[in-house]
Structure formats: C-alpha cells, structure tokens
Structure 1
Amino acid sequence: MSSHVSAIPAAPSAQALAHFEQAFAFETDCWDVHDAFSRGVQDFVLLDVRSHELYQRGHLPGALSLPHGKITEGKMAAYPKDTLFVVYCAGPHCNGAHRGAVRLARLGRPVKLMIGGLTGWIDEGFEVERAPEVEREGAPAVAAP
C-alpha cells in the first residue's frame, strides 16, 4: 500500500537537480528581495503588479506600482533592455505576478517572480509601506506583523 505522495515515484536525482536549479532562473523569494534591499544592492526593479489602490493600502518598500494589465513597451522604454524586473502580487492565491511576468517576457524583458507575494513578505515579518494619504484617511491597510 502506498500513499498519494509515493504513488508516483520521485524523479531521478539528476532530473530533480536540473528542475530545482532551473526554478531559480524564474523565481526569487521574499527573503532574497529583502536581503538585497537591506544591503543596498538594488540590481533589479521591484514591481507590485496589483491595482494602484491595493498598492496604496500596503506594498513592499522600494516597490513601484504597475498593474500587470498596464505593462506595455511604452512604460518599459524608460528602462534599459537588460533591466531585471521582479514582480509580485498578493500571494499564492493570486496569479497577477504570473500575468505580469508573462507580459514582461513577451516584451523581451528579464523577469523573475517573487514567490509568496505580499502575503509571504508579511509572513516573514518584514515591514510593509503604506501611502501617506491612506494612513491619513484611515482606510483599511494590510496588517503588518
């Protein structure tokens, strides 16, 4: 008798190694982004691809607001072609970051997805920024730890 976990055998080690190493070409995580910013190493542009309204309610420090549906060649023209973009959305329950990554890749731009999104960032205990007008108005904001 086997479980659902073992019913399909694991890939051979060499194949698993290739798969997992390749994942790093497509994604990064909250800790790596936080570490880069904490050390002042900003060799990528961090894009919050949710709506501007959600961005104002709470976003990662250093992130720019650019909803995935607004990613166009015209908006990307301000950046050198080899600029690395890191995209994130609300979290694992949201595919906005994938949509943003697809748009950037279609434009020939280097892109990585930050796994975990805003939810993962908060789960790691990292600070969230809010737009000053949101705090003044008393609008609901994303809860920081």
Structure 2
Amino acid sequence: MDSAPKTGKRSAVTAISPAPSGVAREHFAAEFTFETDCSDVHDALSKGADFVLLDVRSPALFAEGHIPGAINLPHGKIIASKMAEWSQDTVFVTYCAGPHCNGAARGALRLANLYRPVKIMAGGLTGWMDEGFELAKGEAGR
C-alpha cells in the first residue's frame, strides 16, 4: 500500500531516489564490518570480550567516566610502539564521546593504518549511557 501523498513534489527525503535493493544490501551489510553497537559491546564485555575496547578521548575525560573494561589511549597516541603489546590480529573497538565526536573514526583510521583489525562502537559514550549502562571512573590510561 502506497501511503505517500501525491502532490507531485518530492520531499528532500525522496528527491534522490533510494539505491537499488542489491546495492543497499551490500552497503548495509558492509557497515557491520566497520562498526558495532553499544548493546553488542556490553553483552560481549559481560561474557569475556574477544577484543580490546579503546576509549580514544583525553585522560581527563576518561577519568570522569568511561566504559568499564576500556583502556584509555587518545587517538593521537595510537602509534606502533603503543600497540606492540597486542598481537597483530587483536581486534580493537574504538569509541569517543558520541555521534558528535569524530575521535573514534580518527582512532580507527590510525589503527587501520597500522594494519590492525578495528571497528567503531556506534553511539560512543552517549549511546552507552542512553542504553542505561554503567560507567566507571578513575584512570587507566596508556
């Protein structure tokens, strides 16, 4: 059933047609190779994570509140020597303050440039809190 109004004018939403379903399927399936969500991270952490969770914000912001189990490594400090303690196939998940922050992407790019497997946790810290998950406080930087 088509419930769209027949005004003859297209909205900003439909002015550019959606991609064909095959293209859309490939695009959305690929997103899961680049990101995960707060709920999946929370679930994995509660069962024993098979990844390293990196909070890429500043040490001061990390100390104010972070995801329990996260390691603080600001994105600008992600360099080969800092990553040497983990095996080359270790999966990293980066997060920052939230959707308004590009720190997670900056950290993920630095990790990818070091040939490390990486995903971003969509939503960041604000998404984590929106889910009602607890924060830890204090320092645990690198």
TM-score by shorter chain over 0.5: yes
2:134 pairs with 1:105: no
Amino acid at match of 2:28: F
What is the alpha-carbon distance in structure 2 between the residues aligned to residue 37 and residue 79 of structure 1?
18
- Select the residue among 118, 123, 129 that pairs with 1:122: 129
1:20 and 2:20 are equivalent in the alignment: no
C-alpha displacement at 1:39, in angstroms? 2.1
CA distance in 2, matches of 1:111, 1:37: 16
Secondary structure at the aligned position of 1:6 is classed as coil
Q: CA RMSD in A?
A: 0.9
Match of 1:78 in 2: 85
Q: Matched residues in 2 for 1:82 and 1:110: separation?
A: 7
Alignment TM-score, normalising by the size of structure 1: 0.89
Deviations 1:55-81 (A, max 9, x none): 000000100000001101001000000
The alpha carbon displacement at 1:10 in A equals: 0.6
- Share of identical aligned residues, percent? 64
Number of equivalenced pairs = 131
Q: Return the alpha-carbon distance in structure 2 between the equivalents of residues 81 and 129 of structure 1.
A: 28
Q: How many angstroms does 1:5 deviate by?
A: 0.5
Q: Secondary structure of the residue that 1:82 maps to in structure 2?
A: coil
Q: What displacement does 1:22 show? A: 0.2
Superposed structure 1 runs of 4+ greater than 2 Å apart: none
Q: Does 1:46 align with 2:65?
A: no
Matched with 1:4 is 12
Partner of 2:4: none
* Higher CA-based Rg: 2
**TM-score, length-normalised on structure 2?**
0.90
Aligned match for 2:39, one of 27, 31, 46: 31
Q: Equivalents in 2 of 1:24, 1:92: separation in Å?
A: 17
- 1:5 is paired with a residue whose SS is coil
Superposition deviation, residue 103 in structure 1? 0.5
Unaligned runs of 5+ in 1: 133-145
